[in-house]
């Protein structure tokens, strides 16, 4: 682990002052990934997600530089998170009450800082602080490094889902039961 790594948990309001840095890091990660990963859509996603009750972010900085972040929110009973899910999936899998499932929306680490334990530190900091009984996230099936990391942290693939966003790719739905 990096000696001068600082993890900080912040809420939606506190995160707003970091919007430009968050978007810049996102765009750096997804520079050549296609239309779905564009700036406008991500800004809209971030703004919508911040409105969710219980939204939480953990940032990672080294010497004051943002090197990564993770964020998510609990899934409410009227969530649209599961729209586009492919069958089969377990009975009751998509039933939410605002306390059952925490959705991890983004886990990003600047390329120069990857493979140094930062992603796991961010993951463990956020997941470890949550009261929900399970976590979920969407991961690209072709993102082998992310898939391997999630498996090593105990996540399991359940099915696939294509979000309602324009040009959205097909994702694996992963869960972590606690």
The Cα–Cα gap between 127 and 106 comes to: 13
Beta bridge partners of 102: 74, 135
* Structure tokens, 150: 């999630």
pLDDT of 34 reads 84
Q: Looking at domain 5-177, which CATH architecture does it have?
A: 3-Layer(aba) Sandwich (3.40)
pLDDT of 1 reads 65
pLDDT block averages, 10 residues each, the chain of length 178: 91 96 96 90 96 98 96 97 96 97 98 96 97 97 96 98 91 96
The Cα–Cα gap between 35 and 109 comes to: 21
DSSP string of 83-137, one letter each residue = TTBPSP--TTTT---SSSEEEEEEEEE-GGGTTSSHHHHHHHHHHHT---SEEEE
DSSP 76: P
pLDDT of 33 reads 87
Give 76: exposed, middle or buried? Use CB within 10 Å, 0-12, 13-18, 19+. Answer: middle
Of the candidates 71, 77, 41, 54, which has an alpha carbon nearest to the alpha carbon of residue 164? Answer: 41
Phi, psi of 29 (to 5 degrees): -65, -45
3-state class (DSSP) for residue 62: strand
pLDDT of 165 reads 84
């Amino acid at each position: 682990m990096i000696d001068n790594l600082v993890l900080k948990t912040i809420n939606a309001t506190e995160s707003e002052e970091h919007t430009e840095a968050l978007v810049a890091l996102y765009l750096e990660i997804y520079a050549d990934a296609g239309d779905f990963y564009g700036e406008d859509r991500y800004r809209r996603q971030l703004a919508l997600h911040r409105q969710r009750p219980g939204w939480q972010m953990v940032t990672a900085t080294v010497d004051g530089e943002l090197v990564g972040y993770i964020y998510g929110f609990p899934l409410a009973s009227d969530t649209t998170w599961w729209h586009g899910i492919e069958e089969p999936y377990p009975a009751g899998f998509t039933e939410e009450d605002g306390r059952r499932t925490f959705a991890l929306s983004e886990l990003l680490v600047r390329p120069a800082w990857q493979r140094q334990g930062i992603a796991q530190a961010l993951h463990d900091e956020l997941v470890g602080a949550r009261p929900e009984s399970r976590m979920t996230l969407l991961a690209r099936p072709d993102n082998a490094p992310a898939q391997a990391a999630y498996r090593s942290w105990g996540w399991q693939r359940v099915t696939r889902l294509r979000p309602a966003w324009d040009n959205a790719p097909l994702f694996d739905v992963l869960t972590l039961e606690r």
